[in-house]
Amino acid sequence: MRSTQVAIIGAGPAGLMLAQLLRRHGIDSVVLERQSRDHVQARIRAGVLEWGTVQLLEEAGVGERMLREGLVHEGFGIAFRGALHRIDLKALTGRCMLVYGQTELERDLAEACCAHEGTVLWEAAEVALHGFDGARPRVSYRHGGKPGELACDFIAGCDGFHGVSRASIPRAARTEYERVYPFGWLGLLADVPPVHEEVVYVSHERGFALCSMRSRQRSRYYLQCALDERPEEWPDARFWDELEARLPASHARQLVRGPSFEKSIAPLRSFVTEPMRCGRLFLAGDAAHIVPPTGAKGLNLAAADVRVLAQALAEHYREGSDALLEEYSARALRRVWGAIRFSWWFTGLLHRFASDPFSERLQRARALAENYVGLSFD
C-alpha cells in the first residue's frame, strides 16, 4: 500500500492547484484522475480570473506564462436596448480581471505537477474512498490495469459535480440546495479577433449573449438557448447571424466571422452542498458548489476553496493545530453563498425569462463591480 499525507481526487485546476500549494508548504500529496491528461487539458472551460486567483497562481509557482500572455481587463460592458454601459472595475474597486483560458491554465498546472514523478496518476479507474470518518482514510483504485490503494491523512475531493467525492458522503450527512434555470448557453470558440477589447454582456429581447475571448485572436461567444436544443441545430452561419442580431449596432459592425472548432450547450444551475467537510474528507470547487457562468465565478470559487484548504492543512502539519481545518467549511461557504447570490442576480438581470419580464435598468454599479472582481477570501 502506498501512503501520502493528502490524497487529492481530481486533476482539474482545483486539484492540481492544491497539489502545487501543498508542495510549497512541504506537504506530500498524490492526485488521482480518472481521465487522461490529454482529455483533461482539452476541456473548454472558463477564462476570466479574479486578481485574487491570479495572485494564488503566482503563489503556486505557475504564474509566469499567465502573466505574460493573459489579457488584463480594467472593466467590462453591459448592453441594454442596444446601448453599451461600461463598468470601470479598476476605478470602482481598484482591482482588475485577467483573461487566460482554463485550457492554458490546466496545461501550466499539469506541467508543474508532472515534473514530480508520481504526483498525478492519470486514468485511475474505480476510485473509491474509505474510512474518512476515522483517523486513517484510504483510497482504492485501478491504475494501468492493476489494483492500488493509497493510505493518507486527509482526502481532498476536487473531482467536480459528477465525481465520487461528494457521492461518498452519506446522504444524511449533507444538505443540498439547487436551482435549475430554464435555459442554457450555446458556446462557440473560433480563431477570430474579439468583437471588443473587453468582455461584453448583452441583454436583448431575443435572449442573452456574451462576447468574450481567450486571446487577441481567439474569441469565445455565447447565446442563450433552449435546453432542448442541440449544437448540431446551430451551424456556424446561424450562430453568427443570431449573435449579430443581439449585439449593439456598433459591435455588430465589428463582428468577424469564421469557422468554429468547438460548439456546445451548457445548462445553467446553482448548487451548494453543506457542509463542505465530512470527517477527513474536504470538498473543493465543483464537487461542493456550482454557479451559473454569468460573472465567471466557478473557477475563482474553486481557487478560493483551495487557498483556504491549503492554509488549513499547512497549519495542521506545521503547528499541530486543527483550528483552520475546523473552520474550513464555514469560511468557504460564506464566500460561496455570496457568489451564488451574485450569479443568481446577474443571471436574472441579463437573461430573457419567457414568463417573467425583468428589469432593464442597471442598478448599484458599485456592488456589481465589487462582486465581479471577487470578494475577499475572508
Asked if 349 contacts 203 with a C-beta cutoff of 8 angstroms, the reply is: yes
CB atoms within 10 A of CB 275: 17
Choosing from 13, 73, 100, 289, which is the catalytic residue?
73
115, amino acid identity: A
143 is catalytic: no
Cα gap 21→32, rounded to integer Å: 17
Cα gap 36→110, rounded to integer Å: 12
- Tell me which DSSP letter residue 295 carries: T
Alpha-carbon distance values, 299 to 2, 52, 63 (Å): 31, 12, 16
Choosing from 297, 316, 328, 351, which is the catalytic residue?
297
Task: Measure the CA angle with vertex 154, ends 38 and 57; round to 5°.
Answer: 50
73 is catalytic: yes
Choosing from 13, 194, 248, 293, which is the catalytic residue?
293
Choosing from 141, 221, 328, 372, which is the catalytic residue?
372
DSSP result, 136-165: S-EEEEEETTEEEEEE-SEEEE-S-TTSHH
Choosing from 100, 181, 201, 221, which is the catalytic residue?
201
235 is catalytic: no
- Tell me which DSSP letter residue 352 carries: P
Place of cell 501512503: 3
263 is catalytic: no
293 is catalytic: yes
141-149: long-range pairs with CB below 8 Å, 24+? 141/32, 148/2, 148/121, 148/124, 149/1, 149/2
Q: List residues with catalytic annotation.
A: 73, 201, 293, 297, 372
